[in-house]
């Protein structure tokens, strides 16, 4: 969680944001090993018993996935999610800024509610009236309350022209929206001149190429008197891209660190000639994850004044 300039965030504290990402990396990098060769683990034994004694249960993958999700829930980390290969492919496609869908990102709130975390500009979702913070109740008539985040993400994707009906809740009002999927080439960065020598760069999310786009946008602006970085409604994304943006301003040094099995991992900025222009960072309650890391890193190193609301606090 990032506060305004009256409270300085700690790099070690924001490192916890990365826990869910580490869990996902372990799952996909190593695979889910439910047992060892020659010595089946307890989970393997339990699954074998279920398959042997429940004739209606034949799919081991479903059981293994349920075991993973139960383990993540038991860990107590509310941000940890299991992404099967199909969902990981969708996530990677989203992070490439080239995908087919309605143009939204989702998150699961602390209460387990699935919410809209960002809406792409000029997307079917934006044109249809979807707003950040909307609570998603149903997709095509299917109740998504209590569903896994990955399954809901898959439900709002599809081929070009696919009809996607959303039932959302907003300010105690239920709204039914009918949208159609389309190919979306989303840009995560937008910029404009707000005064003679002050520029504004808005970052919608951190996807592949975001840092390069930010650097180019700054070069195209006149920012002699300062730069405003708008991270409002930014749900996060690739931590590496957030670090790359940070190092444009803070030079050499640690941006964020975290631990895996007791071993410290560090994201380090390497820039011998960082920009020295004054920076203001705008955040709100929907600023989360990698966006919070960027805001806190700039604030920690006294390279940016953070203004706005208290951020989402993912981690």
User: What single-letter DSSP state applies at residue 83?
Assistant: -
User: What single-letter DSSP state applies at residue 15?
Assistant: G
pLDDT in tens, 51-66: 888 878 778 888 888 8
The answer, yes or no, to whether residue 23 has pLDDT greater than 50, is no
* Residue 37 exposed, middle or buried by CB count within 10 Å (0-12, 13-18, 19+): exposed
Rounded (10°) angle between helices 60-74 and 42-53: 140
pLDDT in tens, 169-228: 999 999 999 999 998 877 789 999 999 999 999 999 999 899 999 999 999 999 999 999
Q: CA 204 from chain center: how many Å?
A: 11
Per-state percent for the chain, helix, strand, coil, to nearest 5: 35, 30, 40
Q: Which CATH architecture has domain 98-184?
A: Roll (2.30)
User: What single-letter DSSP state applies at residue 251?
Assistant: -
Confidence of residue 16 (pLDDT cuts 50, 70, 90): very low
Closest CA to 289 of 259, 268, 311, 265: 311
Output the pTM of the full model.
0.68
Domain with CATH 3.90.226.10 in the chain: 11-19+187-308
Mean pLDDT for the stretch of residues 276-287: 96
| Sheet of strand 279-283: strand arrangement | 189-195, 198-203, 226-230, 279-283, 305-308
d(CA 112, CA 130): 20
d(CA 139, CA 152): 8
- Structure confidence at residue 87 (pLDDT): 67
Percentage of residues in the chain with pLDDT exceeding 70? 83
d(CA 45, CA 150): 27
Confidence of residue 94 (pLDDT cuts 50, 70, 90): low
d(CA 12, CA 106): 26
d(CA 111, CA 132): 17
- Structure confidence at residue 15 (pLDDT): 42
pLDDT in tens, 231-264: 999 989 899 999 999 999 998 888 888 777 788 8
**Is the Cβ–Cβ distance between 222 and 197 less than 8 Å?**
yes
- Structure confidence at residue 208 (pLDDT): 87
For 11-19+187-308, CATH number out of 3.10.20.340, 1.10.3720.10, 3.40.47.10, 3.90.226.10 equals 3.90.226.10
**Is the Cβ–Cβ distance between 119 and 103 less than 8 Å?**
yes
User: What single-letter DSSP state applies at residue 109?
Assistant: -
**Is the Cβ–Cβ distance between 311 and 2 less than 8 Å?**
yes
Domain with CATH 2.30.42.10 in the chain: 98-184
**Is the Cβ–Cβ distance between 185 and 207 less than 8 Å?**
no
d(CA 145, CA 171): 17
């Amino acid at each position: 969680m990032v506060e305004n300039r009256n409270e300085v965030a700690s790099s070690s504290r924001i490192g916890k944001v990365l826990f869910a990402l580490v869990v996902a990396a372990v799952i996909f990098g190593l695979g889910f090993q439910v047992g060892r060769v020659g010595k089946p683990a307890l989970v393997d034994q339990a699954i074998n018993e279920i398959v042997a004694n429940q004739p209606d249960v034949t799919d081991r993958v479903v059981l293994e996935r349920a075991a993973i999700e139960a383990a993540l829930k038991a860990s107590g980390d509310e941000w940890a999610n299991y992404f099967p290969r199909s969902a990981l492919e969708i996530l990677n496609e989203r992070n490439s800024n080239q995908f087919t869908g309605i143009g939204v990102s989702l998150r699961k709130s602390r209460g387990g509610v699935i919410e809209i975390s960002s809406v792409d500009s000029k997307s079917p979702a934006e044109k249809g009236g979807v707003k950040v913070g909307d609570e998603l109740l149903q997709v095509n008539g299917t109740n998504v309350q209590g569903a896994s985040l990955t399954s809901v993400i898959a439900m709002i994707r599809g081929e070009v022209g696919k009809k996607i009906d959303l039932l959302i809740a907003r300010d105690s009002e239920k709204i039914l929206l009918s949208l159609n999927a389309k190919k979306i080439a989303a840009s995560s960065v937008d910029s404009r001149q707000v005064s003679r020598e002050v520029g504004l760069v808005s970052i919608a999310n951190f996807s592949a190429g975001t840092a390069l786009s930010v650097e180019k946008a700054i070069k195209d602006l006149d920012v002699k008197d300062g730069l405003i970085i708008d991270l409002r409604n930014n749900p996060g994304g690739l931590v590496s891209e957030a670090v790359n943006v940070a190092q444009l301003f803070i030079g050499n040094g640690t941006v964020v660190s975290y631990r895996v099995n007791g071993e410290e991992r560090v994201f380090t900025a390497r820039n011998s000639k960082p920009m020295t222009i004054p920076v203001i960072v705008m955040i709100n309650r929907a600023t989360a994850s990698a966006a919070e890391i960027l805001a806190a890193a700039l604030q920690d190193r006294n390279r940016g004044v953070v203004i706005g609301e208290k951020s989402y606090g993912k981690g």
